[in-house]
Amino acid sequence: MRLLITAILLCSLPFLGFAQVKTTSKKSVTQLVQAPNSVLWEISGNGLEKPSYLFGTMHILCAQDALLSDSLQFSIDRASQVYFEVDMDNMAELMGLFKYIKMKDNKTLSDLITPAEYDRVKKYFAENRSILPLSMMERFKPYFIASILSESKMPCETKNGMEEVIMQEVKKQQKEINGLESIAFQASIFDSIPYEQQAQELLRTIDSAGVEDSMTQKMLDVYRSQNLAEIEKLTLQEEGGVAAYLDLFLYGRNAKWIPLIETAMKKGSTLFAVGAAHLPGGKGVIQLLQNAGYRLRPMKHSVNQRMM
């Protein structure tokens, strides 16, 4: 598979949690090899009156995997507010998605590829009728279409996202929900990559459909393992055309989040739930917070098992 960006499937889930890209740098991959296996971390120190929490999500999971562990429940209970990548409780914000996922200048997919290539796309959609009709997605940015195809390959019929599970619990407790960035900003990232290049990635996704199944399973297995080094390796191994946009997809966003995270933590205990690919590495959120003087402690995140 050449591209695996877990994306919104006509619903309110942030879409850059597992952007798989390739880089020639090995430095950041090795920095967290010895880190404990956990996607849930406590943030303390540096003058914080109460600890806050950082949780790495996978935006689309099989429903049996999208469950709260005791330690994640503990973090929600202790937090006075929750931050996702976007404000998932703001319906007006989320509905704006349908405006932003379309290409600019009335471009359509058929404008970006040859007639023969377009026939391959139409054939794929005709043979996979569980996917949304191609006619509904003609003007979607091709990376969105590729992400929808990737989501459809999940090895389960019932799917859910960790953000949705967390949000349900947070709303039950009537706590404040915020976002680190806007839907408009997230969608704008895809405008920074030429649509023609995105269309070629979509074609490669379609042509490697058999391999895609195993890659989706591998992504799920790595997330279940909570091995941050392996999550980062998977993120960096991808051979797709987004290699030149690593800073755009991950590192630049991580850096922009740190001041917002610090401000939120000073106001009160906060749970931050962002895509797991944002956590590891020298430019990951964990390292950036450590660089800023905070202590980060891994917490056991095991569904149906008590914290230790």
Q: Given this model, what pLDDT does residue 99 score?
A: 80
50 located within any domain: yes
Strand partners, 83: 178, 272
307 located within any domain: no
6 located within any domain: no
List of the chain residues with pLDDT < 70? 1-35, 130-131, 209-215, 237-244, 304-308
171 located within any domain: yes
Q: How many CA atoms lie within 13 A of 306 on its CB side?
A: 1
Residue 63, classified by CB atoms within 10 Å of its CB into exposed (0-12), middle (13-18) or buried (19+), is middle
Domain that holds residue 170: 27-299
- The total number of structural domains in the chain stands at 1
71 located within any domain: yes
pTM of the predicted protein model: 0.83
Q: Given this model, what pLDDT does residue 64 score?
A: 82
102 located within any domain: yes
291 located within any domain: yes
278 located within any domain: yes
